[in-house]
Amino acid sequence: MEPFSSTKQNHNNNNTLTKPSLHVESPPLEPSPLRKIIVVASIAAGVQFGWALQLSLLTPYVQLLGIPHTWAAYIWLCGPISGMLVQPIVGYHSDRCTSRFGRRRPFIAAGSFAVAIAVFLIGYAADLGHSFGDDLSKKVRPRAIGIFVVGFWILDVANNMLQGPCRALLGDLCAGNHQKTRNANAFFSFFMAVGNVLGYAAGAYSKLYHVFPFTKTTACDVYCANLKSCFFLSIALLTTLATAALVYVKEVPLSPEKAVIDSDDNGGMPCFGQLFGAFRELKRPMWILLLVTCLNWIAWFPFLLFDTDWMGREVYEGTVGEGKAYDRGVRAGALGLMLNSVVLGATSLGVEVLARGVGGVKRLWGIVNFLLAVCLAMTVLVTKMAQHSRQYTLLPNAHQEPLPPPAAVKAGALALFSLLGIPLAITYSIPFALASIFSSTSGAGQGLSLGVLNLAIVIPQMVVSVISGPWDALFGGGNLPAFVVGAVAAAASGILSIILLPSPPPDLAKAATAAGGGFH
């Protein structure tokens, strides 16, 4: 998973993909009060709460339903695919929406409603599958898997449908005021971190289902009931925040006569024509940025997919659906992701200071990519230490249950999660800032350049989703092979960032460091 979706994406700070022959007039606006900007930005906490649950709990959950680890990554294809398709379409039409409720608010409302439906399908997949005839004595539950996949795809589409207009509404409220635009991005990133912390904290708590006792059923065990309870909280948080924003913040409707559409749009999807046409306008700095970003996400995505599964399988040596070891590991991984989000939020506030300290944003990006490579490589060491110190207890049925790893091993794994918050904060900010800088100095539109940058993010996610499962299976079925490939990609990204990526002008770099993005 906006996370993620995930992907996790919604990386565009400007949803309008423009070209000279296409223009949409927007109503003239004065900058809105900061309190309205904060209310809209807070929606990010509700969305990111759900993304955090996806990233921490859903990979183990799909295996509990019977999807093999090798194939679990294919489920995550919906994040990058929906990000690539839904974001341009929703952004394009929200720019031209003439509803009396405004341009962005109808999409935010529809996205929130779709998220609630998707979360219900995911949470109740096991129960619905059992009602439709799944045999609980069998490991694979095909009907539950089908319902889960449908809900998961709806969730990713809905999240992309929601976050793009939310960011665009923030831009509308700022009305071109640079200081308020920087503040809006800062608050959006802050609330993303808040949502992550809340989501990972909920995922790490093993008795949350006691709050919703009806969630534990014949088809839904304790782990499943906890997941269901977490999603109930997710719906409540997102609905509350979105409703507050929609009620409190009003929009000036766009009148039909002010939407001027060029006749060459061909009645199809001109947003994609503009997006891919932007490649013809790209200069060398943007091409290098795309390459570095692509390698960076090849490094990140395996870990974002399988971080909690790595804790459950390799560090705690658990098996999905058998004993308590795997569940303990997943909860420990959720705690690690919560620590990761705390470091992410703190680092995000200090990106400009860090860049000045190391001599520029491109050097900072290169350095943290080396840190990312080291952390991913260290997962091998932590796994070997856990295996070497493993102890077992004998269960009444004569089966051996692995005991939790020693405190030093667990501390090492949690330290890796925490340290990875530093490069993740840079990944969520600097590439988008550089895209804005390079587009402003090359003559290409920022919307087009950011749209192309999004392709450099979602395409690697799609590639990793397809090949990571079979690649891991080739080397025994664990997560380490994909992590090692990620470490190599991160090192390559760091080298290219330092050697080939041009340094932006200092004044523009300072102005752009407030730009941010998210994994979806």
pLDDT range class, residue 19, cuts 50, 70, 90: very low
pTM: 0.70
Which pairs from 433-437 meet CB under 8 Å and 24+ separation? 433/361, 433/509, 433/512, 433/513, 433/514, 433/515, 434/289, 434/361, 434/362, 434/501, 434/504, 434/512, 435/286, 435/289, 436/13, 436/512, 436/515, 437/504, 437/505, 437/508, 437/509, 437/512
What's the mean pLDDT in 161-182? 73
Residue 385 lies in a domain: yes
Whole-angstrom distance, CA of residue 435 vs CA of residue 13: 11
Whole-angstrom distance, CA of residue 223 vs CA of residue 216: 9
Whole-angstrom distance, CA of residue 314 vs CA of residue 93: 46
The last residue of one of the domains, among 254, 280, 309, is 254
pLDDT range class, residue 472, cuts 50, 70, 90: low
Question: Following CA atoms 123, 124, 127, 128 in sequence, which dihedral angle do they give, to the nearest 10 degrees?
Answer: -140
Whole-angstrom distance, CA of residue 119 vs CA of residue 230: 10
Residue 215 lies in a domain: yes
Whether residue 291 is found in the same domain as residue 243: no
Token pair for residue 365? 């990006």
What's the mean pLDDT in 247-266? 62
Token pair for residue 401? 């249950």
Least confident of 32-46, 70-84, 296-310, 384-398: 70-84
Whether residue 129 is found in the same domain as residue 158: yes
Q: Is 20 helix (H, G, I), strand (E, B) or coil?
A: coil
pLDDT at 3: 39
pLDDT at 377: 95
Better-predicted residue by pLDDT, 129 or 261: 129
**Res. 420: pLDDT tops 90:** yes
pLDDT at 494: 94
Least confident of 72-86, 90-104, 229-243, 456-470: 72-86
Whole-angstrom distance, CA of residue 355 vs CA of residue 478: 37
pLDDT at 357: 87
The last residue of one of the domains, among 254, 281, 303, is 254
pLDDT at 197: 86
**Res. 493: pLDDT tops 90:** yes
Whole-angstrom distance, CA of residue 401 vs CA of residue 383: 18
Better-predicted residue by pLDDT, 392 or 68: 392
Whether residue 65 is found in the same domain as residue 211: yes
**Is there a contact between 109 and 246 (Cβ–Cβ < 8 Å)?**
yes
Whether residue 328 is found in the same domain as residue 473: yes
Which residues does 28 contact at the CB level (< 8 Å), separation at least 6?
none
pLDDT at 7: 36
pLDDT at 504: 65
pLDDT at 257: 57
Whole-angstrom distance, CA of residue 279 vs CA of residue 140: 45
How many CB atoms lie under 10 A from the CB of residue 262? 12
Q: How does 307-335 read in b/e, with b if 16+ C-beta sit within 10 Å?
A: bbbbbbbbbbbbebeebebbbbbbbbbbb
Q: Which of 38-47, 144-153, 411-420 has the highest mean pLDDT?
A: 411-420
Whether residue 43 is found in the same domain as residue 147: yes
Residue 244 lies in a domain: yes
pLDDT at 25: 41
**Res. 131: pLDDT tops 70:** yes
Residue 3 lies in a domain: no
pLDDT at 475: 61
Whether residue 324 is found in the same domain as residue 461: yes
pLDDT at 419: 95
Whole-angstrom distance, CA of residue 308 vs CA of residue 60: 8
**Res. 483: pLDDT tops 80:** yes
Distances (CA, A) of 240 to 116, 151, 194, 369: 12, 21, 15, 37
**Res. 449: pLDDT tops 60:** no
pLDDT at 445: 45
The last residue of one of the domains, among 222, 254, 286, is 254
Whole-angstrom distance, CA of residue 471 vs CA of residue 293: 22
pLDDT at 473: 66
Distances (CA, A) of 389 to 331, 380, 383, 413: 20, 14, 10, 14
Residue type, 242: A
Tell me the torsion sign for CA atoms 407, 413, 416, 417.
negative
Percent of the chain with pLDDT over 90: 17
**Res. 161: pLDDT tops 70:** yes
pLDDT range class, residue 240, cuts 50, 70, 90: very high
What's the mean pLDDT in 501-511? 59
Least confident of 210-219, 281-290, 477-486: 281-290
Distances (CA, A) of 482 to 212, 331, 466, 505: 37, 22, 12, 37
What's the mean pLDDT in 312-333? 82
Show the DSSP H helices in 317-445 as ranges.
325-348, 351-358, 361-388, 407-419, 421-427, 430-442
Better-predicted residue by pLDDT, 179 or 430: 430
Residue 366 half-sphere exposure, CB side, CA atoms within 13 Å? 18
Residue 443 lies in a domain: yes
Average pLDDT for the chain? 77
Q: Identify the CATH number of the domain in which residue 338 sits.
A: 1.20.1250.20
**Number of folded domains that form the chain:** 2
Q: What does the pLDDT look like over 354-403, one tens digit per residue?
A: 888 888 888 999 999 999 999 999 999 999 999 999 888 876 665 777 88
pLDDT at 505: 58
pLDDT at 293: 92
pLDDT at 166: 81
Whether residue 291 is found in the same domain as residue 230: no
**Res. 476: pLDDT tops 60:** yes
**Res. 269: pLDDT tops 60:** no
Whether residue 35 is found in the same domain as residue 177: yes
pLDDT range class, residue 41, cuts 50, 70, 90: confident
What is the Cα 428 distance to its own chain's centre? 10
Least confident of 29-43, 46-60, 215-229, 240-254: 46-60
Residue 246 lies in a domain: yes
Residue length of the chain: 520
Whether residue 290 is found in the same domain as residue 407: yes
Whole-angstrom distance, CA of residue 326 vs CA of residue 254: 53
Whole-angstrom distance, CA of residue 316 vs CA of residue 326: 6
Domain that holds residue 471: 271-519
**Res. 444: pLDDT tops 60:** no
Better-predicted residue by pLDDT, 134 or 164: 134
pLDDT range class, residue 414, cuts 50, 70, 90: very high
Residue 24 lies in a domain: no
Whole-angstrom distance, CA of residue 283 vs CA of residue 119: 42
> 3-state DSSP: the chain helix, strand, coil percent, rounded to 5?
70, 5, 25
Q: Is 22 helix (H, G, I), strand (E, B) or coil?
A: strand
Residue 277 lies in a domain: yes
Whether residue 290 is found in the same domain as residue 358: yes
**Res. 150: pLDDT tops 80:** yes
**Res. 336: pLDDT tops 50:** yes
Whether residue 228 is found in the same domain as residue 163: yes
Whole-angstrom distance, CA of residue 124 vs CA of residue 151: 10
DSSP letters, 263-308, are: GGGTTS-HHHHHHHHGGGG--HHHHHHHHHHHHHHHHHHHHHHHHH
Whether residue 469 is found in the same domain as residue 437: yes
β-sheet bridge partners, residue 322: 319
How many CB atoms lie under 10 A from the CB of residue 381? 11
Least confident of 217-221, 426-430, 472-476: 472-476
DSSP letters, 168-224, are: HHHHHHHTT-HHHHHHHHHHHHHHHHHHHHHHHHHHH-TTGGGTSGGG--SSS-HHH
Whole-angstrom distance, CA of residue 295 vs CA of residue 491: 9
